[in-house]
Amino acid sequence: MKLIQWYPGHMAKTKRLIKERLKLVDVVYELLDARAPISSQNPMIREITSNKPRIILLNKADLANKQAVDKWIAYFEAQGLKAIAINAMHGLNVNKIVGLSKELMKEKFERNAKRGINVRPIRAMILGIPNVGKSTLINQLVKKRATKVGDVAGITKHLQTIRIHDELELLDTPGILWPKFEDQDIARKLVLIGSLKDSIVAMDDVVVYGMKFLINHYKEAFEARYDITADSEDILSIFDAIGKRRGCLKKGGVVDYDKVIDIFIHDFRNQMFGKIMLDRVDDDV
Ligand code: G4P
């Protein structure tokens, strides 16, 4: 069974649009979910950003395990990329983005200045999958200090830039990329963190995956939450045990599995099992 449908037509159009916009910018901010930096990354980004300098922003760091996120930062840095953990909602590290961008562009701008080319603000663009926090980050940057500076001169009518800093402008429309769905586990992880809509997937499948993942990697937290002993080979018994513990029973005392699904999803998304990392550097993600 295919968990998610794939729309190549839509993707081709989005890719074209983003490529057009990329011509206007100096640096790309690739926004990823700190809990799942690989699953929330679109592999197409490398191809379409080609030689553009790129900064990896691991967002929602408040929901992720700090040590694990630090390992991801080292992982991206080993690829020659700049990477930082941020919390777009509350602003953690958001003020470091300008400095990093300036570092990235320093050489080029100095070269240009020597050739007599006017130094202008760096122009940046945010790229990321839906729900990763693109609008929240734009708002946070705007809140810090910003004025709209109008249409990008002579290029397009509907794209605006926002002056974030004397030396940095941001395209006010982020590039929305869809995640890669070739691997169904990626889709399952993105549903668990709320990046993909529940309505497009079979939630029982996602919950079974989520429970097995927790039993394999965070067994104690999972068992403690429901006061059960869990065996990943016997998920049905786990559904029954949780249902009974939580009184999710239909007429005749039969466990209401839909309610168990809702409880698990709610618990997962509200960090009731702790700061769960769905992609881990040490695993073969
Ligand atoms: P998008 O533009 O990339 O689609 O994402 P958007 O900014 O709309 O953010 C999606 C959800 O993620 C929002 O929750 C937002 O508040 C939350 N979010 C963004 N950044 C952070 C962060 O650093 N930490 C945490 N904990 N949450 C963050 P929402 O409005 O409640 O939407 P939803 O959860 O109902 O989808």
Q: What does the domain layout of the chain look like in residue ranges? A: 9-172, 202-284
Stated pTM of the model: 0.91
Angle at 94 between CA 44 and CA 197, to 5 degrees: 50
Average confidence (pLDDT) over 201-218: 95
Check if 133 has its Cβ closer than 6 Å to any atom of ligand 1: yes
- Distance from C-alpha of 18 to C-alpha of 174, rounded to nearest angstrom: 9
- From the centroid of its chain, how far is CA 246? 32
* Least confident residue range of 74-83, 95-104, 177-186, 274-283: 177-186
For residue 135 and ligand 1, the question of a CB distance below 6 A is answered with yes
For the cut 90, the answer to whether the pLDDT of residue 97 exceeds it is yes
Per-residue pLDDT at 7: 53
Structure-derived torsion over alpha carbons of residues 186, 187, 190, 192, reported in degrees to the nearest 10: -110
The CATH number of 9-172 is which of 2.40.50.140, 3.40.50.300, 3.40.50.920, 1.10.645.10? 3.40.50.300
pLDDT in tens, 145-198: 555 555 554 445 567 888 888 888 998 888 887 766 678 899 899 999 998 877
Pick the closest to residue 129 from 22, 32, 27 (CA basis).
Answer: 32
What is the dotted CATH code of the domain comprising 202-284? 1.10.1580.10
Q: Is the CB of 131 under 6 A from ligand 1?
A: yes
Helical spans, DSSP H, in the chain: 8-22, 44-49, 66-78, 96-114, 134-144, 184-192, 203-217, 219-226, 235-245, 257-269
pLDDT at 81 over 70: yes
Out of 97, 136, 137, 139, mutate this one to test ligand 1's pocket (max ligand atoms within 8 Å of CB): namely 136
Q: In this predicted structure, what is the pLDDT of residue 1?
A: 44
Distance of CA 133 to the CA centre of its chain: 7
